[in-house]
Amino acid sequence: MAAGAGQSRFDAPTTAGDLSEVFEALQSQDEIAMVRRATEVLGIDHVARWMRSRIPSLGNQTPYSLVKTEDGRNQVERVL
């Protein structure tokens, strides 16, 4: 999560609908495993929003777009 004064963009809790939308769009067991891993690290309240956010350390790509490939999953795992 972002550090510093004020709230980070991940402070608002993830809703059940947000999380189910993320899982519904996943197509492989590897993609599902990566989202589960992100949930372990970030917590269920923040994972869906994080998955859809452009992350600077991922080249301003979203983790959601990267989990589609093995190389992308490796990048996301390094960030986590």
**Joined tokens for residue 37:** 């891993």
Q: What's the CA gap between 12 and 8, in Å, rounded?
A: 8
Residue 13 has what DSSP assignment? Answer: P
Residues 58, 76: contact at Cβ < 8 Å? yes
Per residue in 31-42, pLDDT (tens digit) is 888 888 999 999
Q: What's the CA gap between 72 and 80, in Å, rounded?
A: 12
Given this model, what pLDDT does residue 19 score?
A: 61
Per residue in 11-36, pLDDT (tens digit) is 445 555 566 666 666 678 888 888 88
Q: pTM score, two decimals? A: 0.68
